[in-house]
Structure 1
């Protein structure tokens, strides 16, 4: 019960009570917790205190709300996997070196006129063409990141005829004798777009880390622009320049 004379804020005590009930199994993953009215009555605190406790537990990822249904116990967090970005990052090699199983899947591709922001990033003319690839990458069969990759069509002539045969970007670059290096990355936190949430199998209110990157070929030509969306509940990203 709430200790009235302890000096510890009531909402904090209620948070710890709910946490203990999750740890000891009284409240299980996916189970709806008692309503604000029920908790207020059971622990003899006002609803503002209950609302504050639940809000903090939702912000920490221990609970989540569903509109019209109530508040539920969230899935326990998994250990974050550190992915190191470097000028010559190879997803497959890096994941294998960490003792885990990588997988990359080309979900879709199309050849299009470069969107304005892509043309600016790659220094292309307004009417130049790019290949747009949607790629999902997994670690130990779990979705890890989703990338939208744009490749300069002028640097990869004929790719449209056999792009489906390639399982990875390094394989494409090897076929053209290219050895791209990362020259710029911009990080930002946001919520996923619907397409990203579906690809990563996450709820739309789970924050993600987005990394915009530009790669340059060995002869100094800008060749790739990408936006990669990392799951915040699974991935942490470090930089190794």
Structure 2
């Protein structure tokens, strides 16, 4: 069996292939693309492949598994995996060769690989959090613009902020200044409500989530975040 180490990066990756007894068969730098991985590795005999957990690691691992290879996504914090690497000189080529050698020796600790559903939910949570941050910044800016004219927006929940601003007797120019932000927040509120509905449905289907949501002050969204983080 061959042993392959891949130092995966966003644009380019370094590949090192070792024979069963440790001889270097191939060292090559390629674009981090499915097509390039396929050109290089799809026709090779089944091999064990080691790569570090990273943003790109899951799709790279799945692509290689579809080619018939055995893939290990490793914990990059496992120090013994880099026991053979020189501390003085660190290059992608040396890292790929070190990963290949760790793969051959079994000197690695597999990282947890999430399911498709967990990956999907994490993406939805990330999108929701981005929407909430955008809404928060918009609220802060609108409040500042309104205060500049000697007015105040009443306190309340973020979801009702637009209505509370519209209840004010805003001067014409100020109304025109905040109008784009209020329009944006209406759309953001709709999208957050849609995502919250998805999270609530997930919470009702998942037994562990259902138990988490019974903890005081933990809602469906909090429960989903705890579940996906292993909490």
TM > 0.5 fold call: no
Question: What TM-score do the two structures reach when normalised by structure 2?
Answer: 0.24
Question: What TM-score do the two structures reach when normalised by structure 1?
Answer: 0.23
Higher relative contact order (CA 8 A, sep 6+): 1
Instruction: Determine which structure has the larger helix proportion and give its number.
Output: 2
Structure 1 or 2, whichever has the larger Rg, is 2
Instruction: Determine which structure has the larger strand proportion and give its number.
Output: 1
